[in-house]
Amino acid sequence: MGTIAVLGAGKIGEALLSGLLQGGRDAGELLFTERHPERSAELTGRYGVRAVEVAEAAEAADVLVVAVKPQDIEPVLTELAPLVGPSSLVVSLCAGLPTALYERRLPEGTPVVRVMPNTPMVVNEAMSAISPGKYATADHLKVVEEMLACVGKVVEVPETHQDAVTALSGSGPAYFFFLVEAMIDAGILLGLPRAVAEQLIVQSAVGAAKMLAEGTEHPVILRENVTSPAGTTINAIRELEKHGVRAALLAAIEAARDRSVQLGKAHEQD
């Protein structure tokens, strides 16, 4: 895999550096770029990874991982353009940005792989979906897959599915956090101390996630197994259906997909 440079070590960039180190990568094989010297010093202190300028990153790294916010991509592309080419590998973690944008702005033949990761990367439980750009080969994909396998699970999807992936697993952890927050509030409503409500819900979420991840039963069966005739759960399910929670989720994820499409369109004319 060689040296990996993370351009923009914010939440996701830091999670990747940390996951790669935990996965056995040497700090000497990792680099990052940042805008603020204090942030660079903080990260170097925490992980022993060196902060560099983009030029040094492009020179030294075999893989350049772009992890800035989509709205900050322009200056990064301008800086990268004279520094990369067909022998580089550019990996974009930016929501909504198509590989075609990079291919237009970087020298012809520069391989680009688009990735949609998510924040559970910080606990090595990321879900990342990868898609090759037009110059990325199976070998490039393998390099990216190996890198991301250090921090979670990886799936390959056609790039046309990336907006849907962004809405589902990119933003997905936020929906679970929102649900947990609301369920803790319900515990408060029922008179439980907050700490107890939190423990009950968080451990239930961990247990349910483990059962789902085992994959031996479909989620519908798992839910039915907790739903006894005339029991408590079916009364709760009736309220969830009455309040349109299923429809709300469909609409919410569709709205997230639309926003991802919009972020990509903002760069179509560049």
Ligand X SMILES: NC(=O)c1ccc[n+]([C@@H]2O[C@H](COP(=O)([O-])OP(=O)(O)OC[C@H]3O[C@@H](n4cnc5c(N)ncnc54)[C@H](OP(=O)(O)O)[C@@H]3O)[C@@H](O)[C@H]2O)c1
- Minimum distance between the CB of residue 229 and ligand X, rounded to whole angstroms? 41
- Chain residues binding ligand X by CB under 6 A are 7-8, 10-13, 33-36, 67-70, 72, 75-76, 93-95, 116-119, 170
- Minimum distance between the CB of residue 76 and ligand X, rounded to whole angstroms? 5
- Minimum distance between the CB of residue 116 and ligand X, rounded to whole angstroms? 6
- Minimum distance between the CB of residue 191 and ligand X, rounded to whole angstroms? 34
Task: Report yes or no: 29 and 47 within 8 Å, Cβ to Cβ.
Answer: no
Residue 112 vs 197, nearer CB to ligand X = 112
Strand partners, 154: 128
Residue 50 vs 211, nearer CB to ligand X = 50
Residue 35 vs 238, nearer CB to ligand X = 35
Residue 167 vs 197, nearer CB to ligand X = 167
CB-closest chain residue to ligand X: 10
Residue 16 vs 141, nearer CB to ligand X = 16
Residue 59 vs 185, nearer CB to ligand X = 59
- Minimum distance between the CB of residue 199 and ligand X, rounded to whole angstroms? 25
- Minimum distance between the CB of residue 70 and ligand X, rounded to whole angstroms? 5
Residue 49: HSE in the Cβ half-sphere, 13 Å Cα cutoff: 32
